[in-house]
Structure 1
């Protein structure tokens, strides 16, 4: 009996859709199976009464996201669709917002750092610049920071560097506990992303890339896969609607989910899968009757609230400042990010109580917030963001060196890089491994269409 497909892809997040896109370009028959009723995964967006509400949070730096920019250009995404944010990131300290996080001017402005800490920031930036070639985002285990955690690495510098820079960045954007996750991947990403002045966003929601990818693919939403069984020649995917057989399968889901779906994974794969742990995420989107924002000397699109200042929140995103199209004219949209340390407790409470607690906590930074909230939505992911623990870092080389097999994997956890660039790069690698085993269709062409004059230049 011949297989139903060349390749079955499980998961319609950016990693899964990019994997399917690459394999489809090579002429293979590919189908994507997605449990949710929509595509996008953690980069899903929904629209409500004129508000554009991102369930995750994504920025696209002009630097360090080469694979993402190349994919956007191939899909015909124009520069107008990915505009610059043009606002600052601030950190809260001593009762006020200090703009300039991730900005070279922080050496002068401080961005919440004490004068002594600014000297150590200069030392830190000089050290990373000198060793820049050793920080490779594709090989996070090969860095001069070794396997030291963020907290351990930061001990060589003034305490402020951890408390008011590394911890709030890692905690808000990655959901990382700095005592668990390693410094190398964080430093690599901070270096490659460059200053905030070059960061962009998707004008019509962070799911733009997922929607464009899905347009040309065979995607079945609302189609969960319960288990994969491979015999070396083919893979059987068992689900509630029956069994589908493919020559190969790619699991584009979080590592703990992949381990559950593929219980027969070889030991060298299973060791890395079980080492790749995730932190949960929880956020509340507040639909406002006016565009409120934290007071700041410079307009902000994000305010980081360090552990040293706040036990409940890790940050506030000012979505209507990130892009005006996120809220109707004259209205506002804020996202309140829960501190990862409190998420287990918050998820166990009544959703209305949890939202109320976060709104009350955020009123410290945004006066008048409780009275301006028209409606709110709570979003959360059990497997929110991959951690870069020392164990995962140590096991990654063996995992990436394994021979191609009937079941492959893609996701930002493979690169220990919690960002769309990590997902896109892992997808390209997974597709190349599948093609090395199955081969391309003789009629396939891998030539990209010439980009229109208004498409993005590759960064």
Structure 2
């Protein structure tokens, strides 16, 4: 009996959509099954009253994202539709914002660091740059820093380097705990991405890539997959409404979700899935009647609030001025801010009612953006229980063995496989999965 599909792709994030796009071009019958009512996953956006709100990812670097840019060219996305992010990134210290985070110019301007700390940060960056070839984002398990955590790496330098640079960046942009997260993937990613001044965004929303890919593939939204069972020649996909058979199933969902769906996953694969934890993400979008941004001598794109600067009840880890990122994010005369919950506040706030989340984050943000309450016309809360893959030392140690696993009827794709929380990691994982599906298909044909 012929299966219903050659390949069933579970999840319509960038990993699943880019995988389906590749496989469809080889002539295979492919369907993407997505539980949500829209595509994009953690690169989704929505539109409301002239505002374009990015619910997950915020920017795309110009460097180190080779496969992303190649895919954009294939899809006919003009370079002008991916403009530079407006404004620098700053860190809050001693009552004011200090610009220059994630930018070499910060070594000159200070970026919130003491002179001694600036020298130590320069030493860290220069040492990594000299050995750049050893910091391959595709092989983070092979870098010179081994299995050291971000906190362990920072301990070798002035305390400000960790407190006002490394920890705020990994906590705000990745949601990572510096004491639990491996330094190697972080350093490799930052070296590849280059200075923040070169980072870009999608003018029409961060879901641009997902929407363009979805135009070329069969996407079935509102279809929740409940269970996947691998067989010898095919696999079964159980949804709420039906059971599909496919020669291959690729789970393009966060590792914890994949572990829950794949009921007969081999023990060796489960070990890596268990090690690939995810940090949650909680954001509040503030739609404003005027373009407010953090108080600073320069108009800022992002402000990071270090843990050492937060009070015991301060739930804010950072904020983004989306109308500075790109003017298309807000209507003329308006503004849009994104407030990011601090990792320490997530256990209490993640499941709290929306109004409680809004009060906690907007109340804390008034310190950095005076007048926020009076300018706000609407708030939206965005929750991702599986927000970003956290590259732990345990996952780093197991990754090489996981990548060498045999080809089977059920496979995976996602940025967590690369220990690289980004669209580039997702697309590269999709390319790896496409190659494995092709190997499985050729093997069956030869038999």
Q: TM-score range by the shorter chain?
A: over 0.9
1:344 paired residue number:
347
Quick check: 1:436 aligned with 2:439?
A: yes
1:50 paired residue number:
50
1:95 paired residue number:
95
Match of 1:319 among 291, 298, 322: 322
Deviations 1:180-238 (CA, angstroms, capped at 9, x unpaired)? 00000000011001011211100011000000000011110000111111112001101
How many Å separate the matches in 2 of 1:40 and 1:57?
A: 10
1:441-452 equivalent positions in 2, closer than 5 A: none
1:413 paired residue number:
416
1:10 paired residue number:
10
- SS of 1:248 mapped into structure 2: strand
How many Å separate the matches in 2 of 1:177 and 1:406?
A: 35
1:231 paired residue number:
231
2:358 paired residue number:
355
Match of 1:369 among 332, 354, 372: 372
How many Å separate the matches in 2 of 1:9 and 1:407?
A: 10
Report the alpha carbon displacement of residue 86 of structure 1 after superposing the two structures with TM. 3.4
1:451 paired residue number:
none
How many Å separate the matches in 1 of 2:108 and 2:290?
A: 34
How many Å separate the matches in 2 of 1:92 and 1:232?
A: 57
1:135 paired residue number:
135
How many Å separate the matches in 1 of 2:136 and 2:80?
A: 30
- SS of 1:98 mapped into structure 2: strand
Greater RCO (CA < 8 Å, at least 6 residues apart): 1
1:275 paired residue number:
275
1:252 paired residue number:
252
Deviations 1:222-266 (CA, angstroms, capped at 9, x unpaired)? 001111111120011011111100000100000000001002011
Deviations 1:346-404 (CA, angstroms, capped at 9, x unpaired)? 12332102201210100000011111111100001110011011111111110001121
Report the alpha carbon displacement of residue 130 of structure 1 after superposing the two structures with TM. 1.5
- SS of 2:223 mapped into structure 1: coil
- SS of 1:61 mapped into structure 2: coil
CA contact (8 A) 2:279 2:386 kept: yes
Match of 1:397 among 400, 410, 414: 400
- SS of 2:86 mapped into structure 1: coil
How many Å separate the matches in 2 of 1:275 and 1:337?
A: 25
Structure 2: which 5+ residue stretches go unaligned?
none
How many Å separate the matches in 2 of 1:216 and 1:348?
A: 36
Quick check: 1:153 aligned with 2:145?
A: no
Quick check: 1:295 aligned with 2:279?
A: no
1:20-169 equivalent positions in 2, closer than 5 A: 20-169=20-169
CA contact (8 A) 2:14 2:426 kept: yes
Deviates more, 1:85-94 or 1:173-182: 85-94
Structure 1 runs (4+) greater than 6 angstroms displaced: none
Report the alpha carbon displacement of residue 441 of structure 1 after superposing the two structures with TM. 13
How many Å separate the matches in 2 of 1:26 and 1:53?
A: 35
Report the alpha carbon displacement of residue 309 of structure 1 after superposing the two structures with TM. 1.1
CA contact (8 A) 1:26 1:441 kept: no
CA contact (8 A) 1:319 1:326 kept: yes
CA contact (8 A) 1:28 1:440 kept: no
CA contact (8 A) 1:113 1:160 kept: yes
- SS of 1:39 mapped into structure 2: coil
Deviations 1:4-29 (CA, angstroms, capped at 9, x unpaired)? 11000000000000110111111111
**TM-score normalised to the size of structure 2?**
0.97
Report the alpha carbon displacement of residue 57 of structure 1 after superposing the two structures with TM. 2.5
Deviates more, 1:341-350 or 1:52-61: 341-350
- SS of 1:308 mapped into structure 2: helix
Report the alpha carbon displacement of residue 440 of structure 1 after superposing the two structures with TM. 11
CA contact (8 A) 1:99 1:297 kept: no
CA contact (8 A) 1:27 1:440 kept: no
Match of 2:428 among 405, 425, 428: 425
- SS of 2:141 mapped into structure 1: coil
CA contact (8 A) 1:26 1:440 kept: no
**TM-score normalised to the size of structure 1?**
0.95
How many Å separate the matches in 1 of 2:328 and 2:251?
A: 34
CA contact (8 A) 1:147 1:182 kept: yes
How many Å separate the matches in 2 of 1:164 and 1:441?
A: 55
Structure 1: which 5+ residue stretches go unaligned?
443-459
2:243 paired residue number:
243
